[in-house]
C-alpha cells in the first residue's frame, strides 16, 4: 500500500506518494549541490525518482553523482530520456536489429541491454535512429543519421531541449541538433523526454506511483510535461525559470506550486489573499507581506515580501486571474525583474 504524505497544515506534498525530481537547477548546479536540496529531499521521507533529459550519461553514472552529495541513490531510481526512448523504439525492432546511435554511452548502454546492435553509419542498414546529445556529436554523425532517415526508418530523439547549461554559459542542446537533421530530411522525430509523456509514464510504472509530484526548474519541460501527464507540478526558483517566465507562462505551463528552494516542499503553503477596493475597482493580491495591485491593465508592486517567492506568487496571481493575457497588461518593470 502506498504511503501518502500528510501534514497538520497544507504543504505542496500533501497527498503525494512519490517525488519525481529534475536534476540540474534543482538538485545541483555543475559539480555542487544546491543549498538545502539534499536534506530537503531526504526529509520528505518519500520514494524518489530522478528524471533527466540528459542522454550523455548512464543511470549508474547519474546515481553515482547524486550519491556523492549524500543522497544514496541507486541506478534504478534514475529515469533517463534514453530509457524512455527505448519504450518508443521497442515496437519497431526485433532482437539483434541494428540501431544507428547519435550520442554517447547513455544511449548505447540502453540499446545493448535490450539485445539490439549499435551502429554508427547508414551503410550498416540500421532499422531505426536514436538521437541524443553528447559533446562529441559532430557533422559526420548528423550526416549519417540523415542518410539513414531518408529510407523512412523510425527516428526517436531523446529530448528536444534547445539549450543546455554548461560551465561557460548556455550552449546548443539536443533540440538544436535534431533540428539540423530535420532540415536535411524533411521529417520530424518522435521525442521521448520531458515534456513528452513517455518519461513520466516510465517513472510511474517503475515506482507504481499513484499520486506523484514533479519538482523542476523549467516550465517548458518539467512543468509542461507534468501537466500533460496529469500529475502535480512544483516549480523551484533555484534554476532556469523565475518571475518573468512565470508571469508570461500560458495555462499549459503554470505550476500547481512555486517554492523558493526545496525546503518549501514541506513548509506550509502561504495563501494568496485577493482584496477588491470597491471605490477604485483596484484588486490587491497579497502573499505574506508581499502585495501587488492590479488597476485596470496596470500591475504595480505595492511592497516586496520577506521572500522573493512571495512577491512572485502575488504577481502571478494578479496576471493569471486577469481577463487578458500578460501581453495585454502593463506590468511594472520591478515585477518583470523578479
In the chain, what are the domain boundaries? 18-53+195-265, 82-191, 272-336
Buried b (16+ CB within 10 A) or exposed e, 115-124: ebbbbebbee
Cβ within 8 Å of residue 266, ≥6 positions away: 7, 11, 13, 40, 43, 44
HSE on the CB side for 136, CA within 13 Å?
Answer: 9
Confidence at residue 169, expressed as pLDDT on a 0 to 100 scale: 79
Q: Using CA atoms, how far apart are residues 138 and 135, in angstroms rounded to an integer?
A: 8
| Residue 22 annotated among the catalytic residues of the structure | yes
Q: Does the model's pTM come out above 0.75?
A: yes
Catalytic one among 14, 17, 24, 32?
24
Cβ within 8 Å of residue 166, ≥6 positions away: none
HSE on the CB side for 304, CA within 13 Å?
Answer: 7
C-alpha cell at 277: 477596493
* Second-level CATH architecture of 82-191: 3-Layer(aba) Sandwich (3.40)
Q: Using CA atoms, how far apart are residues 208 and 309, in angstroms rounded to an integer?
A: 32
| Residue 24 annotated among the catalytic residues of the structure | yes
Domains 18-53+195-265 and 82-191 share a fold: yes
Nearest to 158 by CA among 80, 75, 227, 223: 80
18-53+195-265, CATH topology level: Rossmann fold (3.40.50)
Catalytic one among 17, 22, 97, 222?
22
Q: Which residue has the cell 515585477?
A: 335
Confidence at residue 1, expressed as pLDDT on a 0 to 100 scale: 40
User: Averaged over 129-144, what is the pLDDT?
Assistant: 96
Confidence at residue 6, expressed as pLDDT on a 0 to 100 scale: 67
Reply yes or no on whether the pLDDT at 76 is more than 50. Answer: yes
- CA 173, 192, 84, 91 dihedral sign is negative
Q: pLDDT tens digits, residue range 252-307?
A: 999 999 999 999 999 999 999 999 999 999 999 999 999 999 999 999 999 999 99
Amino acid at each position: 500500500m502506498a504511503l501518502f504524505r500528510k501534514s497538520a497544515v497544507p504543504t505542496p506534498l500533501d497527498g503525494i506518494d512519490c517525488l519525481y525530481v529534475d536534476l540540474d537547477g534543482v538538485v545541483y548546479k555543475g559539480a555542487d549541490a544546491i543549498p538545502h536540496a539534499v536534506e530537503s529531499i531526504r526529509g520528505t521521507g518519500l520514494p524518489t525518482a530522478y528524471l533527466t533529459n540528459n542522454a550523455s550519461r548512464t543511470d549508474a553514472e547519474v546515481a553515482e553523482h547524486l550519491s556523492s552529495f549524500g543522497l544514496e541513490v541507486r541506478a534504478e531510481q534514475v529515469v533517463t530520456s534514453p530509457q524512455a526512448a527505448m519504450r518508443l523504439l521497442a515496437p519497431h525492432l526485433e532482437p539483434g536489429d541494428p540501431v544507428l546511435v547519435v550520442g554517447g554511452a547513455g544511449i548505447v548502454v540502453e540499446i545493448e541491454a535490450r539485445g539490439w546492435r549499435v551502429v554508427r553509419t547508414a551503410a550498416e542498414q540500421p532499422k531505426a535512429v536514436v538521437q541524443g546529445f553528447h559533446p562529441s556529436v559532430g557533422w559526420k554523425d548528423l550526416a549519417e543519421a540523415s542518410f539513414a532517415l531518408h529510407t523512412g526508418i523510425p527516428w526517436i530523439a531523446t529530448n528536444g531541449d534547445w539549450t543546455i547549461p554548461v560551465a561557460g554559459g548556455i550552449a546548443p542542446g539536443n533540440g538544436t541538433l535534431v533540428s539540423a537533421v530535420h532540415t536535411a530530411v524533411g521529417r520530424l522525430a518522435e521525442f521521448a523526454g520531458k515534456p513528452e509523456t513517455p518519461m513520466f509514464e516510465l517513472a510511474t510504472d517503475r515506482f507504481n506511483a499513484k499520486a506523484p509530484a514533479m519538482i523542476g526548474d523549467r516550465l517548458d519541460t518539467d512543468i509542461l510535461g507534468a501537466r500533460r501527464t496529469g500529475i502535480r507540478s512544483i516549480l523551484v526558483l533555484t534554476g532556469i525559470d523565475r518571475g518573468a517566465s512565470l508571469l508570461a507562462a500560458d495555462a499549459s505551463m503554470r505550476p500547481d506550486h512555486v517554492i523558493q528552494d526545496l525546503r518549501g516542499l514541506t513548509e506550509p503553503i502561504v495563501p494568496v489573499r485577493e482584496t477588491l477596493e470597491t471605490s477604485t475597482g483596484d484588486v490587491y493580491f497579497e502573499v505574506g507581506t508581499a502585495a501587488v495591485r492590479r488597476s485596470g491593465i496596470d500591475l504595480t508592486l505595492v511592497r516586496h515580501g520577506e521572500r522573493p517567492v512571495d512577491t512572485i506568487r502575488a504577481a502571478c496571481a494578479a496576471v493569471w486571474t486577469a481577463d487578458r493575457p500578460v501581453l495585454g497588461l502593463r506590468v511594472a518593470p520591478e515585477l518583470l525583474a523578479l
